[in-house]
Amino acid sequence: MATLHSPAVRGGRLRALLYVLPALIVVVGIVYLGIGYNAYVSTLEWSGIGDDRRPVGIDNYIGVFTDPVFWTSLSHVAIFAVVTIAAQMAIGLTMAILLSGRIFLGGVYKVVMFLPVVLSPAAIAVAFRDILSPGGGLNEALRAIGLDGLTRAWIAEPETALMAIAVINIWAWTGFSFILYQAALAQVDTDLIEAAQLDGAGKLRTLWSVVVPQLSGTHATLVLIGVIGALKTFDIVYLTTGGGPGRSTEFLTTYIYKTAIDGFQAGYAAALSMVLLLLSLLLTLIQMRANRFGRS
């Protein structure tokens, strides 16, 4: 759609490949070589140290699909993805729209929303472990407004730990949705808005029926990034709950890490990461396909 249809640009088609080459070399040379290595290791029974490697074919993969921890982790990732993507998009879009109303101190609000994105996971984890602790800020706030009954050890209880991590992630990443929406809103066709308002549509309806659909490209990008981001989430989980209590916040990534590092099962961990990879690829392709349908 956005392509130049005339026989591309001077220099011929193959020269265009040169533009892609640097990125390809770096990505293929590291990520794909890494994936290839993982694919090989995933067929071994190997501690990850020394020469005692035993080829086991697809046994590790069979192990993955019959491993209850794998399925538990996957369900956590799914819940986490849905909750965080929905919340980040909703809050990010809302805030972008609110701030487009040129409110007082809008610049400060903008910075506040985006600052979490630039903070290191280490800083975020340390702060939230404090805020979500039994005597931390969240419980204090609840007590202050009389909701003593709701206070709890948010990251220490299996019932709330996953949601607590989702909240941390929403805090950390909403600024990203916000900033993309803000950029996109600036490109929204104002004629359509004016036309809708001339038709007598209310502001909220204009928003919903005229503005939001125009942002479909941004929605799609955020969902795509959100899904992949959820599958890749590691630092925040590792640094706050470490996957616990029990397995209640185990993610595929933390499980891979534990299996490889604490469990000395490099082969099995590699098989888990190959499954994670295939899963992400599958979801990415589905979304790209769906996206194209949506556009045409």
Partner 1 sequence: MFGRLRTRDRVVLQVLATLIAIPFAYPIIVIVATSFEGQGAIENYTAVLTRTPFLRFLANSAIIAGGTIVITFVCTMLAAYAFSKLRFPGRQMLFVVVLGGLVLPAIALIVPIFTIMLGLGLMNTHIAVILPLAAITIPFTVLLAKNFLDGVPDEILEAAKIDGANTLGTLFWIVLPLARPIIAVVLVWTFLQSWNEFFLPLLLLQSSDMQAVTQVPLYFTSEYGSDTPKIFASLVLISLPVTIAYLSLQKLFERGLTAGAVK
Partner 2 sequence: MKFDRKRRRLAISIGALAITGLMLSACSAPAEDDGGPVTLDVWGWNPDEKSAPSYFDAFEAENPDITINYRFIQASDFVNTVRLAATTKDGPDVFGLQVGVFPEQFAPLTVDVAPYLEDALGAEWNEQLTGADQYDVDGKQVAAPWYTSAAGFMWVNQGVADELGLAVPTTLDELIAFNAAANAAGKQGLVQGAKDGFANLDLFQIVANQVEPGVFYDALDGDEPFDGDAMTASLEIWQQLFTDGAVQEGALGFTAYPDANDARITGEAAMIPFGSWQFRDATNTRTAEYAETYGDPAIADTVFMPVDFPAVTEDATVGSLFGGPDVGWSVSAQSDAKDAAGRLVAWLTTSDTAVELLGEALRPPALKGSTIDLSDVKTPEQAAAIESLVERSEDLVGPREVADPDVKSTLIEVLSSVAAGSTTPADGAAQVQAAIDAAS
Residues 30-89 binding partner 2 (CB under 8 A) are: 47-52
Q: How far is the CB of 76 from partner 2 (least distance, A)?
A: 13
Question: 39-78: which residues touch partner 1 (CB under 8 A)?
Answer: 41, 48
Give the one entry of partner 2, partner 1, none that residue 244 binds, where binding means its C-beta sits below a cut-off of 5 to 8 angstroms depending on kind. partner 2
Distance between CA atoms of 167 and 128, rounded to whole angstroms?
Answer: 10
Question: 166-185: which residues touch partner 1 (CB under 8 A)?
Answer: 171, 174-175, 179, 183, 185
Residue selected from 73, 174, 265, 273 as contacting partner 2 according to rule CB under 8 A: 265
Residue selected from 122, 195, 286, 290 as contacting partner 1 according to rule CB under 8 A: 122
Question: SS3 of 250, please?
Answer: coil
Contacts of 48 (CB under 8 A, 6+ apart): 260, 264, 265, 266, 269
Give the one entry of partner 1, partner 2, none that residue 258 binds, where binding means its C-beta sits below a cut-off of 5 to 8 angstroms depending on kind. partner 2
142 binds partner 1 (CB under 8 A): no
In the bound state with partner 1, the residue whose beta carbon lies nearer, of 158 and 295, is 295
Q: What is the CA radius of gyration of the chain?
A: 23
140 binds partner 1 (CB under 8 A): no
In the bound state with partner 1, the residue whose beta carbon lies nearer, of 110 and 247, is 110
Q: How far is the CB of 50 from partner 2 (least distance, A)?
A: 3
Task: Report the candidate in 129, 135, 123, 126 with the shortest Cα–Cα distance to residue 161.
Answer: 129
Per residue, the 3-state secondary structure of 113-156, as one string, reads: HHHHHHCCHHHHHHHHHHHCCCCCHHHHHHHHCCCHHHCCCCCC
260 binds partner 1 (CB under 8 A): yes
Task: Report the candidate in 28, 39, 72 with the shortest Cα–Cα distance to residue 273.
Answer: 39
Distance between CA atoms of 158 and 154, rounded to whole angstroms?
Answer: 9
